[in-house]
Structure 1
Amino acid sequence: MEFYWGVVQSAFQFEMGDPYRRNLDTRSDWWHWVRDPYNIKNELVSGDLPEEGINNYELYEIDHRLAKELGLNAYQLTIEWSRIFPCPTYSVEVEVERDGYGFIKSVKIRKEHLEKLDELANKREVRHYENVLKNLKKLNFTTFVTLNHQTNPIWLHDPIEVRVNIEKARARGWVDERAIVEFSKFAAYVAWKFDKYVDFWATFDEPMVTAELGYLAPYVGWPPGILNPKAAKSVIMHQIIAHARAYDSIKKFSDKPVGVILNIIPAYPLNPRDSKHVKAAENYDLFHNRLFLEAVNKGKLDIDINGEYVKVPHLKRNDWIGNNYYTREVVKYVEPKYKELPLVTFVGVEGYGYSANPNSISPDNNPTSDFGWEVYPKGLYDSTAEAYEYSEMVFITENGIADSKDILRPRYIVDHVKEVKRLRENGINVLGYFHWALTDNYEWAMGFKIRFGLYEVDPITKERIPRRKSVETYKKVVKEGIE
């Protein structure tokens, strides 16, 4: 298999921004979340709005050409659920089978269900994604398509309702297991419609983020912005099951590899000679990384989230693993925080990893990004080696840095690609590297403040302006190859 060099985009973060507001997606949970007055007033979100974005919806041919000029041979994108199905799909009833634990073991989707879903689908959006994928194939890109990159239809998840009263909310997202069934139907429909243009499927991108930031860290601006460990546990379990059932749905209409994209974060103890800190790092790994890895690759589920597993064979559904790596975590021990999540005995140490100060130096003398993320290339090696324990088909599906002045990015690219080479030299056959991102984008709650792009985007004209050092660096790295 050839080595894949690519870039990544997600729908919500890149698509909107046309001057006439013709291509808005007003039916996603994030659309409502970022414009909520409470969130803006309390500075949980930036106040920037996605309709001021980079307009990839109309300008995708330009972006594809820029990627081609970099010498890339792969492109990763999301098909937005809320665009394909802006209104509920509950009326298309399917048969569900359960196992001895009560988990959904199968979702039986037949041709007549797809025909009914086709009646509900937004045909304009179906044609749009078909045109995007056709253009990528015309340019000879290998296509990686993700079905869920943090966003959900508002009819499935209304984060404002959930924040106000999770028990009475009508649309609770992944807290409710009906999301598993609806996602399975979406996966089947998308595979049925687009398979001939797709080379690799991914179910989720960073599913643990949904649980960790949405239900355990209400101060970070992630929907629904509540502290509810019980709900967090439900979200994790339902997404694991949803991955397996979506895998089955896709495989009915596709023989392409189906995987999951995780942000595998290596955790290091603050003091490696302190047994409690070591335990904290171990528990972080079990919670954040291995809950999904064990379930979807081995059929072993940690039902009580305490490090003990039961066999659930119907969850073993995975062909490849994507690793999104940006930085590490350095952790110390804290007493168990939540009875529902016994593994959570850790906290990130300020100054390191994701907990550093922007544009500073970490205690280990590593620079930090505009986002306050520590530059730590070795973590890419460690996290990807962990992924390889579970699958021989592993890709670096995101790697990049928020660096508006383009000071750190060129070195960041080189140093992280060096780790990919070191992995391969040591027998860990990483198959691809995708840079986040080709262009600047809408960075969730942070809006347009955070710039990850190889290309800057003029907010008015939407012109793509190269950050020349980084563009030339990535181009050179790709040309030289991985060997």
Structure 2
Amino acid sequence: AQGWVRGIWPPMKVSPMGTVRVFRNMLLAHGVAYQTIHTCAPDAQVGYAMPVRVFQPSNPARWLDRKAANLKRYLGEHIWIMATVDGKLRPPLGVNEYNHALANSADFFGINYYTRDLVRFHLDPRRLFGEEHYHPQGEYSDSGWRGIYSEYAPQGLNQIVREVSVFGKPIYITENGLPDHDDDQRPRWLLGHLHALHQAIQSGCDVRGFYHWTFTDNFEWSEGWGLRFGLVELDPATQERRPRPSAAMFGDIVRDNGISAALVRQYAPSLLPVLFPPA
């Protein structure tokens, strides 16, 4: 999506037809890879990670906004997932074309989730009839309100996990985090998303793991060193590493396999009534 829909990553093209070709070929390649790996290692667990943006209607009461959000969700996620479940390539990838290698070609689903998009109807088909925007009073990361890692929206993670869980496969959160150089938002965002994930697990979703993006600051595709995602700060010039406060918090969560009221009070007190509501 970033390379062919938004054109901000290589090959930096905005091409609907190119997007369809790439999408289709990636799916077909996945099916062949899945079958090949299982031929060589029958007990292997093979899946894939999806970069997911939860699309929600700007005005839920407006029919056109709902349709525009649903179209983006269908094209961005559902046709890929469904193809790896029942082997059918749906429009625009195909017209109910069946591919045997794709059927049941995921032993688990990986989800990369950062934020949501609010969608309002737009007449331009190049925008898939939907204009993406963000809440004017939202809480934003260093990526800014226009960025692709932008708004604090932990319930979007809960939503997508519930949607994907209906297919009966184990789920891994393969990426979740935010760019936050000063580490003043990361503790709150991390706790909020883990809480939303815990709610999904409590409802019966089979979530097997959570991977924070990322351990140390990394060189991003288009932003370079400009966005700092790490629990550990990295100086690119010297390679010196300095743990941020959120690293200690995440370590406590991992060691305790849980979140305590004392930990929330220490790192993100504003979340205390949300995670531990008064009786």
Quote the Cα distance in structure 1 between the aligned partners of 2:191 and 2:167: 27
Partner residue of 2:3 out of 200, 214, 218: 214
Find the structure with the greater CA-based Rg. 1
Pairing 1:295–2:48 present: no
Counterpart residue number, 1:423:
200
Quote the Cα distance in structure 2 between the aligned partners of 1:248 and 1:312: 12
Q: State how many pairs are aligned.
A: 252
Quote the Cα distance in structure 2 between the aligned partners of 1:260 and 1:302: 19
Deviation at 1:482, TM superposition (A): 4.8
Q: Which amino acid aligns with 2:156?
A: G
Q: Which amino acid aligns with 2:16?
A: P
Pairing 1:386–2:170 present: no
Pairing 1:286–2:74 present: yes
Pairing 1:239–2:49 present: no
Counterpart residue number, 2:101:
314
Partner residue of 1:461 out of 238, 241, 245: 238
**Shift in alpha-carbon separation, 1:391–1:345, aligned structure 2, 3 A:** farther
Q: Which amino acid aligns with 1:320?
A: F
Runs of at least 5 residues in structure 2 that lack an aligned partner in the other structure: 145-149, 260-279
Pairing 1:249–2:36 present: yes
Deviation at 1:301, TM superposition (A): 1.4
TM-score by length of 1: 0.50
Task: List per-residue Cα deviations over 1:187-221 (Å, max 9, x = no partner).
Answer: xxxxxxxxxxxxxxxxxxxxxxxxx2222323x2x
Deviation at 1:310, TM superposition (A): 4.2
**Contact kept? 1:319, 1:391, Cα under 8 Å:** no
Partner residue of 1:436 out of 200, 206, 213: 213
**Shift in alpha-carbon separation, 1:420–1:227, aligned structure 2, 3 A:** closer
**Contact kept? 1:406, 1:470, Cα under 8 Å:** yes
1:195-206 alignment to 2 at 5 Å?
Answer: none
Quote the Cα distance in structure 2 between the aligned partners of 1:290 and 1:336: 22
Report which structure shows greater RCO (CA 8 Å, sep ≥6).
1
**Contact kept? 2:35, 2:101, Cα under 8 Å:** no
Deviation at 1:305, TM superposition (A): 5.1
Deviation at 1:333, TM superposition (A): 1.5
**Contact kept? 2:24, 2:93, Cα under 8 Å:** no
**Shift in alpha-carbon separation, 1:214–1:345, aligned structure 2, 3 A:** same
**Shift in alpha-carbon separation, 1:225–1:381, aligned structure 2, 3 A:** same
Partner residue of 2:180 out of 385, 403, 406: 403
Quote the Cα distance in structure 2 between the aligned partners of 1:329 and 1:272: 13
Counterpart residue number, 2:131:
347
Runs of at least 5 residues in structure 1 that lack an aligned partner in the other structure: 1-211, 353-361
Task: List per-residue Cα deviations over 1:361-382 (Å, max 9, x = no partner).
Answer: x42x331000120011000100
Counterpart residue number, 2:269:
none
TM-score by length of 2: 0.85
Pairing 1:476–2:214 present: no
Q: Percent identity?
A: 31
Moved >4 Å (runs of 4+): none
**Contact kept? 1:287, 1:344, Cα under 8 Å:** no
